[in-house]
Structure 1
Amino acid sequence: MRPLWPIEREVLEITATEYSGSVEAMRRQIDTAQVTSFENSGAGFFSHLAVADDAPVLLENSPLSGAYGSVLGIEHGMGFIVFLKDGRLSMIEGYCNAGGPTTDIDFSQAVYGLMPWSPKPDSEA
């Protein structure tokens, strides 16, 4: 197992802000999250996660809208979805918009700019 890479943590943090009823519980899971396996599929990636058994369970329905944005080296950017299993963070899926290979992208060092799927009202921006 390994700690979260910056891009994985950013996806999870953005996701947490999108689910205000679960934000604190999700952040507690994020704090304990470890990556159990990682696959660069060539069109994105899959990060499988484990969180501490004593972290609070999330009541949200899987999958969760994660984030989207630019990743250096990927022409049309990426989207991210977060999956839960039994109320716990279990996987991050990152996928390329409009195709584009990811085989040469080192996601551990990726340069990116991510944002939530749903825009915040002007009063919250």
Structure 2
Amino acid sequence: MSAYMITYFLSDTHGHHHEHGDDCGCGEDHSHEHGDSCGCGEDHSHEHVHSGTNIPGKIKSLGSWAQFMPEGFFVKTDTLSAKEIFDEVSSVANGGDIIFVTKIDAETSACANPAVLEWISK
């Protein structure tokens, strides 16, 4: 059985990513903090309430899984490759979401929690 690490970043609900000083899309150039209104009448908060929230459900459907970070999972499968896992997860992602899948093993990994490496090696 192979183990894979899947990490992802969800884009914001408007399909673009903005940081301090970036244009929010309302035609004005100004800075704004997470959740602050830029004055254009739209809510630009960074809550992930879009189809990307289907990513964890899709990952969990692929095999035995463990969530090691808020947007990071390990999955074990003996039928899927990294590319096939990527394709499956991408099928429920938004266009701006970033997904990374890599094959891992306990011998070439390091972790502060030995139980993680034990789980990967089983």
Flag whether TM exceeds 0.5 (same fold).
Answer: no
TM-score (norm 2): 0.30
**Higher relative contact order structure (alpha carbons within 8 Å, sequence separation ≥ 6):** 2
Which structure shows the higher strand fraction? 1
TM-score by length of 1: 0.29
Rg comparison, structure with higher value: 2
